[in-house]
Amino acid sequence: MKAMIFAAGLGMRLRPITNTLPKALVEINGVTLLERAIRHLREAGVHEVIVNVHHFAEQIVAFLRAQNNFNMRVEISHEEVLLDTGGGLKKAAWFFDDGQPFIVHNADVLSRLELARMYRFHRERNALATLAVKPRNTKRYLLFDKEGRLCGRTEVKSPLEGGFVGLSENARAALLAFDGIHVLSPAIFDLMHEAGAFSIIDTYLRLAAAGERILAFRTDEYYWRDVGKLE
């Protein structure tokens, strides 16, 4: 199984720590965020990983080399200019050449999600993309219909509990927050018409509107935390 770790961000919310260190190498209890993401993926059966880098890229490369790539195949996708999540994924498309679904994992989230279970869910439902989501307090939500298919997004001025919002007389959508973990089928690359730097969420919304199966995987029961900020 293959995966990608998003580790190219500037870590603005973690300054001043990230003034001299890439976000992926920030430590929690002596273990870097990058190592935690790699361990999480390896537990699910991932043995090949590509990591995108930009900010202090050489530090990440040196760290992986010092760890013997954690006895996995690890490739580096160096972004001279930040490409955001969609552009970064598109640049790494060459890595996913086996025709199998793969996992994408933000470096700055801690999760106890059973990735293997989510991977099976994705395959069994023949999804193009499956997003780990839960109802939690945030300012940005994705909207999913009664069948768990992505149907929109919304932003609020103040965090609120995930609930329901009416889209029409016959449709109601769950407001769910994205966990920064997704499973994708490689067929998505042929449908990524965007170029340069772009958000993968924008691509998901466009494809969902066109009828593609972009599904929710509810993670309510699993521990999750955004560690990409100092609070």
pLDDT averaged over every residue in the chain: 91
pLDDT confidence of residue 112: 97
Name the range with the highest mean pLDDT among 12-16, 54-58, 94-98, 164-168.
94-98
Give residue limits of the domains in the chain. 2-226
pLDDT confidence of residue 226: 81
> Which residue type is seen at 158?
S
pLDDT band at 17 (very low <50, low <70, confident <90, very high): low
pLDDT at 102 over 70: yes
pLDDT greater than 60 at residue 176:
yes
Look at residue 156 in the predicted model and tell me its pLDDT.
Answer: 80
pLDDT digits (tens, 9 = 90+) for 197-219: 999 999 999 999 999 999 999 99
Q: Which of residues 19 and 223 earns the better pLDDT score?
A: 223
Amino acid symbol at 191? L
27 pLDDT higher than 70: yes
Residue 152 buriedness (CB in 10 A; 0-12 / 13-18 / 19+): middle
Q: What is the mean pLDDT of residues 94-114?
A: 97
What is the per-residue pLDDT for 164?
Answer: 44
* Token pair belonging to 210: 């066109």
Instruction: Give residue 167's pLDDT band: very low, low, confident or very high (50, 70, 90).
Output: very low
Per-residue DSSP letters for 6-59? Answer: E-----GGGTTGGGSS-GGG-EETTEEHHHHHHHHHHHTT--EEEEEE-TTHHH
Please say if the pLDDT value at position 86 is more than 50: yes
pLDDT of residue 171: 53
Structurally, at CATH architecture level, domain 2-226 sits in: Alpha-Beta Complex (3.90)
pLDDT for residue 166: 38
* Residue 228: pLDDT over 60: no
